[in-house]
Amino acid sequence: MGMIKEFKDFAMKGNVVDLAVGVIIGAAFGKIVSSFIEDVITPLLLKPALDAAHLSKLADLTIWGTVKYGNFLAAVINFLIVAIVLFLIIKAINASKRKEVVAPAPPAEPSSTDKLLMEIRDALKK
């Protein structure tokens, strides 16, 4: 029975639960980013550029008929696009966070005890 309790304690620790939530949120965010790139960025920006450069059939490129290096190149280009888009999203988020930072509050007024001690100090100096 001790091993089951120990496993339950391990599985329910905050770190494990936080990690699980992070993985789930990350997977959902990954779908959002993929959709943004495939459905927005690619048709608007990349499709015309790839067609103009005759790279729209990149996936068909092969060596000796079996090595599909075009798929690899397409994956590398896709990764670079995802990295750039994520960089821009994170940069925008960080910029908005900087705007939210409020100036620090002025220092608090001395307490009545501190005021009394300052008066005693000033009186002793005289």
Structure confidence by residue, pLDDT tens digits, 25-63: 888 888 887 788 778 877 777 666 666 555 556 667 777
Q: Which single residue is written with the structure tokens 């990149």? A: 58
What does residue 53 show for φ and ψ, rounded to 5 degrees?
Answer: -90, 5
Q: How far apart are CA 86 and CA 36, in angstroms?
A: 11
Cα distances (Å, whole numbers) of residue 10 to 3, 5, 41, 89, 115:
10, 9, 43, 35, 52
User: What are the sequence ranges of the domains in the chain?
Assistant: 2-102
pLDDT of 100 reads 62
Q: Is the pLDDT of residue 94 over 80?
A: yes
Does the global pTM surpass 0.85?
no
pLDDT of 115 reads 85
Q: How far apart are CA 18 and CA 57, in angstroms?
A: 43
How confident is the prediction for the chain on average, in pLDDT? 78
